[in-house]
Amino acid sequence: MHIKCDNDLCIYEKEKCCMLGSISMDSMGMCSQCIRINIDERVRDNAKLHMLAELEHKGLL
């Protein structure tokens, strides 16, 4: 059985499923085993600017 996972920044997420056999949830409903990947600050900021420009181009901003 695969556990559904939408956290694509977690190292255990693969194709919207958790690779772990079992997990526990904290009081906020977040997976306690989650380990997030580190993204370089410049890469993150460039991605934000690119996405904002796309939204502005589409008239959504």
Q: Which domain holds residue 40?
A: 3-57
Tokens 């997976």 -> residue: 31
Number of domains in the chain: 1
- Answer yes or no: pTM beyond 0.85: no
Phi and psi (nearest 5°) for 13? -80, 130
pLDDT in tens, 31-53: 999 999 999 999 999 999 999 99
pLDDT of residue 52: 96
pLDDT in tens, 2-14: 899 999 999 999 9
pLDDT of residue 2: 84
